[in-house]
Copies of this chain bind each other. A is one copy, B any other.
């Protein structure tokens, strides 16, 4: 089966053909680290995390590069986002960068997002950016005015090919431009002259200044992945101008194609509207993780297509929480059964083993089809139902349980990251110990009940509840969940 990818460049699903066999070279635009990350970032980076995990599961070697923007990403009023953060928190710009870069990786770790192989920072690649700007100047794709350098959009005939915009229309549709030093209103800055008191500035052939936002991704992808690479990802919000500018810079400077496949993830809305600080509906990842488990957030994100918008709401997250519990309960039940399952004659397991193979195929087909995670998830949910029936009937042999366990671990754990496969917590395995302690107390409660000592049994339950551990008696035994 071959992998398809919806390529935003062609607006079509295409068969994925990597440049080097078995190798995926992939770049995803990273965050600007001047504030805590929000759930919109979670959607983007969990989506691409699953893409990377799936490629690796399929045996590809992936080099995943995701930049950190720490200079040059300006607000509408022209202020650098990093400087704004520094002003807000009254510290040095690079302290802001350290603080929020760390916060970002903490959030990503908490969400189980695999770290990129290389996380290059814009401020760490000023010489590379200057070299690329020099190349663009030499070829007539850029021009200098008063110590700043601009890219000339009219010099690149394909400008607009990703977003489907056309320079002529953009110009026509634009209000009378403020008189500025650009030749064409759509031209964008490659290098910006710094006022003398500007904190973030470097020497350059055009005087002291700082790089424009777009050039960093062109310079860093070129450095770490080469001029042409396989996949460029990011959030759809950045398709214009950022991604369009990247293509223009890279293709003009390198005289070759930039990324072969463009994958853009859909916007995250909150209660149906765009998230914004002024609307008061801005949800940070840290806030979200106070309310919901990491697996529930992932499951919420993976319940829709990565390129579709998603709507973050209490109802959606509650549903995802229930889904996470259901799928994890099923996986735990398999592991529990496995502990005392005896060896069996594999021949007796034939029908169910075939069924498990079909589930694995369903999952694989879904993921091969442009990473259709919601369809892949539905296979895991249906599997749970069939397994519960098989265990109840006594037909889940050791062979069946082992294969089911492998499916949960590999597909639900390694690929989607919605099933807990091992203890997290700190080194000493405290999460594992905690689970053992709770199990021990569940057993002691059962013993007390068998001895008809209901006072003791109830005391165990209510004391656990005080600690925040809620026991739930179901037809298949007692389970627990951590309450708030």
Partner pick for A110 among B95, B121, B426, B444, CB 8 A cutoff:
B426
Q: Is A463 an interface residue (CB 8 A)?
A: yes
Q: How far is the CB of A106 from chain B (nearest CB, A)?
A: 10
Q: How far is the CB of A423 from chain B (nearest CB, A)?
A: 9
- Are B115 and A102 neighbours in the complex by a CB distance under 8 Å? yes
- With most chain B CB atoms within 10 A of its CB, the pick from A430, A469, A482 is A430
**A433-B468, A434-B437, A440-B463 given as contacts; is B121 within 8 A of A98 (CB)?**
no
Nearest B-chain residue to A70, judged by Cβ: B124
Q: Is A202 an interface residue (CB 8 A)?
A: yes
Q: Is A386 an interface residue (CB 8 A)?
A: no
Q: How far is the CB of A82 from chain B (nearest CB, A)?
A: 13
Nearest B-chain residue to A448, judged by Cβ: B456
Task: State in angstroms the CA–CA spacing of A467 and B436 once bound together.
Answer: 7
Nearest B-chain residue to A204, judged by Cβ: B127
Q: Is A390 an interface residue (CB 8 A)?
A: no
Q: Is A424 an interface residue (CB 8 A)?
A: yes
> Which of A456-478 touch B at CB < 8 Å?
460, 463-464, 467-469
Q: Is A438 an interface residue (CB 8 A)?
A: yes
Task: State in angstroms the CA–CA spacing of A434 and B464 once bound together.
Answer: 11
Copies of the chain in the assembly: 2
Interface residues of A (CB under 8 A from B): 63, 91-92, 94-95, 98, 102, 110, 115-121, 123-128, 130-131, 202-203, 224, 289-290, 293, 424-428, 430-431, 433-434, 436-438, 440-441, 444, 460, 463-464, 467-469, 482
- Are A127 and B441 neighbours in the complex by a CB distance under 8 Å? no
Q: Which residues of B contact A124 (CB under 8 A)?
A: 121, 123-125
Q: How far is the CB of A452 from chain B (nearest CB, A)?
A: 15
- Are B427 and A426 neighbours in the complex by a CB distance under 8 Å? no
Q: How far is the CB of A138 from chain B (nearest CB, A)?
A: 14
Task: State in angstroms the CA–CA spacing of A63 and B91 once bound together.
Answer: 10
- Are A94 and B121 neighbours in the complex by a CB distance under 8 Å? no
- Are A426 and B424 neighbours in the complex by a CB distance under 8 Å? yes
Q: How far is the CB of A112 from chain B (nearest CB, A)?
A: 11
- With most chain B CB atoms within 10 A of its CB, the pick from A91, A434, A460 is A434
Q: How far is the CB of A94 from chain B (nearest CB, A)?
A: 5
**A427-B290, A437-B438 given as contacts; is B131 within 8 A of A118 (CB)?**
no
Q: Which residues of B contact A440 (CB under 8 A)?
A: 441, 463-464, 467
Q: Which residues of B contact A125 (CB under 8 A)?
A: 124
Q: How far is the CB of A134 from chain B (nearest CB, A)?
A: 9
Q: Which residues of B contact A427 (CB under 8 A)?
A: 110, 289-290
**A290-B427, A431-B430 given as contacts; is B98 within 8 A of A117 (CB)?**
yes
Q: Which residues of B contact A467 (CB under 8 A)?
A: 433, 436-437, 440
- Are B202 and A127 neighbours in the complex by a CB distance under 8 Å? yes
Task: State in angstroms the CA–CA spacing of A294 and B51 once bound together.
Answer: 36
Task: State in angstroms the CA–CA spacing of A222 and B126 once bound together.
Answer: 18
Partner pick for A98 among B95, B119, B131, B460, CB 8 A cutoff:
B119
Q: Which residues of B contact A463 (CB under 8 A)?
A: 440
Q: Which 10 A-B pairs have the closest CB atoms?
A: A124-B124, A437-B437, A436-B467, A127-B202, A434-B434, A94-B118, A95-B117, A425-B425, A424-B426, A126-B127
